Amino acid sequence: MKVIKTRDKEIQSPNTTKDFIKKVLGEIPLTAELYWLIRHRDRTINSRFSLEQLDKNIPDIMAYLEKNRQSIDNSKEILIFASLHYWIEHAAIVGLTLSGMGHRVNLGFLPYHDWQNPISHFDLRRQNLYAQGVLKKLSPFVNAFSLLAVHAGYKMLPKELQHRVEQVTNYDAQYTLQVENVDTNDPIYKMRLKRNLQAARCMLTWLNANRMDVVIVPNGTIQEFGVVYEVAEFLGIEVVSYEFGDQRKRIWIAQNAKVMRQQTDQLWEVYKDLPLTRTEKRSIHKLFEARRKASIWKNFSRLWQAAPAKGVQQARADLKLDERPVVLLATNVLGDSLTIGRGTFTKTMEDWIVRTLQYFAGKPNIQFIIRVHPGEVLTHGLSVVDVINHIIPKLPEHIHLIKPEEKINTYDLIAAADLGLVYTTTVGLEMAMSGVPVIVVGDTHYRGRGFTHDPISWVKYYKTIGAIMEFPKQFRLSKAQIDLAWAYAYRFFFDYPRPFPWHLRLWPDYAECPIQKVLSVLGRKKYEDTFNYLSGELIEWEAIRNGEV
């Protein structure tokens, strides 16, 4: 318990006293329920856990579905799961849309407002009562239930499932603390393990009692989302995971796979021999130029650089680069969900950075640039800068560290590089698009596509570096390889994400495109296939390529 120290005595802070009372009351049956009945007669809640916007829109949605709900022969029994209020709202809208298309939809939820802080049983039960009050209004189109109401007991999970839940918890700790080496005694790990085990027991119990054709879950890798994915897969139930990237009106979907793995094998098999049209070439070149100039293009919502390109000569002058060959290592953010569990022959990304730094420390004939991911300015965990300073506090003159906040454009560095080294960042793809030979170390989606070097051991990694550095000009990518990289980039950015009306930042999109519009004739023409994929209908990339869907 935190205290405020005064000169005379220690006084409990009001907030801490309140938390203590909640902790005590939370262990007493029905206290939260009685408090809810007495103090929340309007069924609203003063909390970060808010379903207010969903609640406002439910009456109009219900009125529409009562008159326009479809009936289909291939109707499926679907469970869509969500935790955290913003994901719950999003899942509810998706579930209502699937119901409007004729499916039988269940919405399982956990009423947490964040994933990284403990919550008293008192507050959790209040939030649960509030969520149940809002979500019961989805009936009869969506059957919403709280996992907190599922009585799973304390039976041990099957050994294999227990192991999977522990792996998810390890990812949670990496993601939350932004580290790669996890201490299982850390409070975050212990809290996440407790939550994850309980979620696994409850979901296992519910799915064993309720036959589902498909389970839909956001992300599928971390937090309770990852747990539900693992339970469904363990039981042999078809599972679909989804996430959102930088584009509005687009969604990533993976069927019987974790969407954060960004598996593009089937897409690329269909498209790899299909040259880009003139229009497609123009689109990917415009996107690449927007990224280089640090500007936003079309429906992309993110700036990839803090400063626009100034040109390679200016970058060389700023870093005092000479005629020695240049190697550029571009990092990911430590603990990012696109890096965890992505090692091929390295233990972690940090392990790769450390060993690569040590290798180049003894190569003064090569200028080595480490570009720390600009996204680190928004994080709070361990920085790659800290890792590097711990290994070599004072860097030699031939090693250059570009910190995340520095206004140096990565694309100017690419233009100066003779070799690129990456883990999973898309900078590696863009290096190949620029003709720079790139060694890909992590298990990323563009590895093994014909325009990268993909070692499978430390020995091959070092040998590949040595070979390229001996004759760097001979390893510049051929025109055919560069064209292949551009073609793959187009497919990844424009074909892999499917059309979808609502990003996770739901309500501005929903105001523009409500369920009524999505389920209209024109809306179904645009979005129905994507909702079919979410419900488990196989994504047919060949049909998509041929314009049949």
pLDDT at 70: 87
pLDDT band for position 179 (50/70/90)?
confident
150 inside domain: no
The Cα 235–Cα 158 span in angstroms is: 11
Q: Are strands 104-110 and 238-243 parallel, antiparallel or unpaired?
A: unpaired
**Among residues 175, 169, 166, 168, which one has the least CA distance to residue 339?**
175
- Tens digits of residue pLDDT in 194-244: 999 999 999 999 999 999 999 999 999 999 999 999 999 999 999 999 999
DSSP string for residues in 31-75: HHHHHHHHH-TT----SS---HHHHHHHHHHHHHHHHH----TT-
Cite the beta strand spans of 230-270 per DSSP E: 238-243, 250-255
Taken in order 67, 72, 77, 83, the sign of the CA dihedral is negative
pLDDT at 120: 86
pLDDT at 36 over 50: no
pLDDT at 430 over 70: yes
Please tell me what DSSP assigns to residue 495: I
The Cα 68–Cα 114 span in angstroms is: 36
pLDDT band for position 315 (50/70/90)?
confident
The helix (H) or strand (E) run that includes residue 169 is: helix 159-177
- Tens digits of residue pLDDT in 43-67: 565 568 999 999 999 999 999 999 9
pLDDT band for position 29 (50/70/90)?
low
**Range(s) of the domain holding residue 415:** 274-495
CATH of the domain at 470: 3.40.50.2000
Contacts of 22 (CB under 8 A, 6+ apart): 120, 122, 123
DSSP string for residues in 371-402: E--GGGGG--S--HHHHHHHH-SS--TTEEEE
Burial of 221 (0-12, 13-18, 19+ CB in 10 A): buried
Please tell me what DSSP assigns to residue 494: I
291 inside domain: yes
305 inside domain: yes
Q: Are strands 142-146 and 77-83 parallel, antiparallel or unpaired?
A: unpaired
Burial of 449 (0-12, 13-18, 19+ CB in 10 A): buried
393 inside domain: yes
Tokens 């971390």 locate to: 222
The Cα 256–Cα 236 span in angstroms is: 10
20 inside domain: no
pLDDT at 336: 80
pLDDT band for position 305 (50/70/90)?
very low
- Mean pLDDT over 25-52 rounds to 61
pLDDT at 40: 54
pLDDT at 6 over 90: no
Cite the beta strand spans of 84-194 per DSSP E: 104-110, 142-146
pLDDT at 31: 59
pLDDT at 52: 95
- Tens digits of residue pLDDT in 63-93: 999 999 888 888 999 999 999 999 999 999 9
pLDDT band for position 268 (50/70/90)?
very high
- Mean pLDDT over 413-440 rounds to 95
- Mean pLDDT over 373-378 rounds to 80
Average pLDDT value over all residues in the chain = 88
| pLDDT-above-90 percentage for the chain | 72
Structure tokens that stand for 487 in this block = 């073609």
pLDDT band for position 7 (50/70/90)?
very low
Under 8 Å between Cβ of 45 and 123: no
- Dihedral angle of Cα 433, 434, 438, 441, to the nearest 10 degrees: -50
Contacts of 396 (CB under 8 A, 6+ apart): 361, 364
The Cα 545–Cα 86 span in angstroms is: 34
218 inside domain: no
- Tens digits of residue pLDDT in 106-136: 999 999 999 999 998 888 988 999 999 999 9
443 inside domain: yes
pLDDT at 299: 45
pLDDT at 321 over 80: yes
pLDDT at 307: 53
- Tens digits of residue pLDDT in 522-541: 999 999 999 999 999 999 99
Peptide bond into 187 cis (omega under 30): no
**Measured CA angle at 497 (ends 494, 499), to 5 deg:** 95
Structural domain count of the chain = 1
pLDDT at 3: 25
348 inside domain: yes
Structure tokens that stand for 298 in this block = 């079309």
pLDDT at 303 over 50: no
The helix (H) or strand (E) run that includes residue 534 is: helix 521-534
Contacts of 442 (CB under 8 A, 6+ apart): 332, 339, 342, 343, 344, 346, 349, 352, 422, 423, 424
Under 8 Å between Cβ of 72 and 102: yes
Rounded to whole angstroms, what are the CA distances from 174 to 83, 169, 442, 496? 19, 9, 16, 27
**Measured CA angle at 492 (ends 488, 496), to 5 deg:** 135
pLDDT band for position 27 (50/70/90)?
low
- For residue 82, list its beta bridge partners: 109
pLDDT at 71: 85
pLDDT at 296 over 90: no
pLDDT band for position 17 (50/70/90)?
low
Rounded to whole angstroms, what are the CA distances from 276 to 63, 485, 547? 46, 11, 15
Cite the beta strand spans of 96-207 per DSSP E: 104-110, 142-146
- Tens digits of residue pLDDT in 463-482: 999 999 999 999 999 999 99
